[in-house]
Structure 1
């Protein structure tokens, strides 16, 4: 947790003010039993009502000042804790946003969500409680001991027995609870994973009648978390009763031996009352420390998980040289590129060599798992190649910043992703300063203008999270328009026409030809009809290029392509495609 202390630096002044306020509040609390002792021994003992009223009003004033100090201290501690968690959450989010896909796969999406929310909340609670108790608890213990010793040294011997016993109980409970708190966070990750899969895959679950199975799966994860939580609470449940027994036995011993001394005339009633109050303050301070021991183990486990993310080195980093000047635009070159996923036994791509230029459409086709999506993921550096060389505009992608590289690319992903907001907001993802005219132009090319125009609010029409309120084909066309509005040097379409009917597909490809004359186009498709008129077609099989050429050439030279074509088209359609 100490590694996260740097996030408290901006709030150091507020934190110090909080500690000062708590220091003064603790002094006020320590002063109250002494005043009570005077009221009992002097005021009540002599029957001086005026003295009782004067000291009583002074006690009330001290109590009010102490309460006011506590209120302001709590407000300041809340500001520090909330600011700390906000800054930490922001840095964690920025770090996660900069991860490559490989790091996402290693850490897991559900775990990253838990670390950004629940784990930071656990640490935030410890920061909050630490600020409130950091001064109060130690000062209450030390001040209470001093005041108790100054009141009666002989009775203080009882504290030498009860306090060490209390400390041992606290340490034993904390030692037993620490591993279980860490286990709880891991099991919370698992629960989040199951929940996330259920929410995102609800259609598949219902379609396959697997609701009871998923309910059992969730119940198993939930029960596992519950069992661990019960174990933790059983251990913690021992703590408070143990402390109360020790505190009550201490009080009984003080009253017993104090009463004996009062009877002997060596002690006064008011002093005994003050002594008992000091002892109770010491005990309550130790209870406060115990509360910290309850929170710290879980927060320590959370802090470790947060630091794991913050200290994870980036697999993909920008070059030291930074931005570079490009004299050519819209050219992608693969030179003997091989790529393997981390911990995989075989490369996903092997010895890939091809290039594409502005005005040229390069299509990629192949069976499921042949490496099509993997190949295009290398261009924007979602992954780094294992060997070979990948050039964009004649420059190795590793010599460019990621921002500079991705600014050149308009990507339409295989899974159409839209964000919560209006259509205009989604279009401006491609170009922040896009005008309405530019947006409508992009929508027209993407064959989306008609259905957007028919919406009641046009460009201000609301898009639900994930685009759940529009059809699959509409989502794809909106995603295509978002890429078009950017007017990039390189267009990448990853099976982006799969949800379109053949008529819309044909119209869209025709419109794209005029729109992308100055850009390179890389098109991944499953349908032969979509890529028949491409300038060059790459046929992938098991991560290798087994065919390269035009539609006509591949029909004569590549058996894999011919097999794909015959499975989708009639001989007449194939002949017409020539």
Structure 2
């Protein structure tokens, strides 16, 4: 894990090196100050000088103290500056490394982590690592260095009194290790709860219109409150284990001060210790124990960061389940599609595959309709063509070549998919359309919109093609969003066009216009149209009837009416020729 994370320090190695260097310099300056104070007390004021004090010593040593204090201030500022630069830069690189790797993920990888889990790792977990890295560079170097130097200085002044500090340090160190081991397991669980909280927020905000339409605000509030309470309870459990650290440390500090004062006073009386030496020892006492408390805080932060670090490393180290082969094919010859004994399961451990023994042969330029009941695996079937998932068994060929042998960018450029869930991004309509082809001219965009019947509503908008689309396309209707997504897919000029129930929100007249435009404008493109309406597919060259992950029928509209019971019953129900059959009712 550490090796994976520290690789992302990259260009911030110098800042990461300079930060602890400045912190050590600051500590050295701070440790010199008590020694100079002792000299002023003993020689300048003259507590241990029979000839009295010396103003010369006071001015000379005082000037040295000012110079060293200023040097310490400069070192502290340098440590803060470079520490901030290193930690924020490290966090930036971690986010970029994760995001870059996420872009290579297949749908299977995304399913493994979940969207909300990835959001938590990119935000909360990285922030924890950033804070811990800052604390490690500054305090984790400063505190031990300060503690060690103060301990050495204390032993130099009086080994007997310094032994009190040593015992206190050993006692508190053992206590912190015991407490931190207990708290660690709770911090690991906290971030899993964060995933649930983010999932609740993401789902609620994206579906806020549905929530309001069904007056479910109170229900959603209760669900969010439960998720937030789960995090609260986990933190309380962890903090209960840590709550004893502060009072025990404070008590230890006061006991040390009392013991050093008591024994130190007796040693001054017997001339074993000077007054300035006792003052220095008390200063070192506070320094040692305060830095020990600081180490306790660092351990808390590092414990949280350890859990976050593992989650971040998982994303960075995750290997995409779908990758290019060496010598991948860079050209798709045509839009022919062949399924050869294809099985597919989303989970390799599943007992039953989603698709079972699919055999299809589709010619380039054909228009193929795909119909079937809910859960019949229509979307799963077309997702395999552009290799969004890999087959479990068998093979799929596009243009006569197995899709696993293609360069993925080449394949997906030639297999344009309008997914079931239509997504638009914030920006203008032209910006969204150019996702299909970033170099497309405005005229090319308009032509694609005419084919998708999107031009009619775009031209009625005040700014036309420069109209701003809000995030997720919330300022356009479902049918308008579908037509814009179809136009975007057409701009790729693909050899295969897949419409996954992409005209469900469009009226039948517009649906017919879109199909007519496809037939006239892109006759050489293979078109696969998933639909629930028979009218959307009955004029296709051939129609696939899916049922429970299998191909129940494959033929023309007329052939299926004669030979396929499911197709015939649904056709009769939708045209009013028969009872109430539907795709979700078996024939």
1:136 alignment partner, one of 131, 142, 147: 142
- Partner of 1:333: helix, strand, or coil? strand
Which residue does 1:28 correspond to in 2? 29
Which residue does 2:404 correspond to in 1? 398
1:510 alignment partner, one of 497, 506, 516: 516
- Partner of 1:338: helix, strand, or coil? strand
- Structure 1 residues 104-119: aligned runs within 5 Å: 104-119=110-125
Which residue does 2:157 correspond to in 1? 151
In 1: Cα distance, 2:281 partner to 2:60 partner: 22
1:164 aligns to 2:164 (yes or no)? no
Which residue does 1:576 correspond to in 2? none
Deviations along 1:427-463, one digit per CA (max 9) or x if unpaired, are 1110011111111111111111121122222222111
Which residue does 2:127 correspond to in 1? 121
In 2: Cα distance, 1:214 partner to 1:223 partner: 14
In 1: Cα distance, 2:482 partner to 2:231 partner: 40
- Structure 1 residues 407-418: aligned runs within 5 Å: 407-418=413-424
- Cα distance, 1:196 vs structure 2: 2.1
Which residue does 2:340 correspond to in 1? 335
Checking the alignment, whether the CA contact within 8 Å between 2:337 and 2:364 is kept in structure 1 is: no
1:249 alignment partner, one of 244, 255, 262: 255
In 2: Cα distance, 1:440 partner to 1:28 partner: 71
In 2: Cα distance, 1:385 partner to 1:549 partner: 24
1:317 alignment partner, one of 323, 337, 343: 323
- Cα distance, 1:470 vs structure 2: 0.4
- Partner of 1:65: helix, strand, or coil? helix
Which residue does 2:49 correspond to in 1? none
Q: TM-score, normalised by structure 2?
A: 0.94
Which residue does 1:425 correspond to in 2? 431
1:527 aligns to 2:528 (yes or no)? no
Which residue does 2:364 correspond to in 1? 358
1:276 aligns to 2:282 (yes or no)? yes
- Cα distance, 1:37 vs structure 2: 0.7
Deviations along 1:151-182, one digit per CA (max 9) or x if unpaired, are 11221121232111111221122112101111
Return 5+ residue gaps in structure 2 as ranges.
Answer: 47-51, 579-587
Checking the alignment, whether the CA contact within 8 Å between 2:143 and 2:294 is kept in structure 1 is: yes
Which residue does 2:2 correspond to in 1? 2
- Partner of 1:493: helix, strand, or coil? strand
* Structure 2 CA distance for partners of 1:406 and 1:325, relative to 1, 3 Å: closer
Stretch of structure 1 that moved more, 156-165 or 194-203: 194-203
Which residue does 2:70 correspond to in 1? 64
- Cα distance, 1:324 vs structure 2: 4.1
Stretch of structure 1 that moved more, 310-319 or 89-98: 310-319
Which residue does 2:502 correspond to in 1? 496
- Partner of 1:538: helix, strand, or coil? strand
Q: TM-score, normalised by structure 1?
A: 0.96
Checking the alignment, whether the CA contact within 8 Å between 1:357 and 1:519 is kept in structure 2 is: no
The number of residues matched between the two structures is 571
Stretch of structure 1 that moved more, 524-533 or 219-228: 219-228
In 1: Cα distance, 2:433 partner to 2:212 partner: 33
- Structure 1 residues 97-246: aligned runs within 5 Å: 97-246=103-252
In 2: Cα distance, 1:138 partner to 1:211 partner: 52
In 2: Cα distance, 1:424 partner to 1:243 partner: 64
- Partner of 1:154: helix, strand, or coil? helix
Which residue does 1:369 correspond to in 2? 375
* Structure 2 CA distance for partners of 1:248 and 1:376, relative to 1, 3 Å: same
Checking the alignment, whether the CA contact within 8 Å between 2:543 and 2:554 is kept in structure 1 is: yes
Checking the alignment, whether the CA contact within 8 Å between 2:429 and 2:466 is kept in structure 1 is: yes
- Cα distance, 1:571 vs structure 2: 4.8
Which residue does 2:582 correspond to in 1? none
Checking the alignment, whether the CA contact within 8 Å between 1:358 and 1:517 is kept in structure 2 is: no
In 1: Cα distance, 2:383 partner to 2:242 partner: 50
1:389 aligns to 2:395 (yes or no)? yes
Which residue does 2:443 correspond to in 1? 437
- Cα distance, 1:88 vs structure 2: 1.2
Which residue does 1:575 correspond to in 2? none
Checking the alignment, whether the CA contact within 8 Å between 2:108 and 2:389 is kept in structure 1 is: yes
Checking the alignment, whether the CA contact within 8 Å between 1:423 and 1:459 is kept in structure 2 is: yes
CA RMSD of aligned residues (A): 1.6
In 1: Cα distance, 2:469 partner to 2:384 partner: 30
In 2: Cα distance, 1:482 partner to 1:252 partner: 78
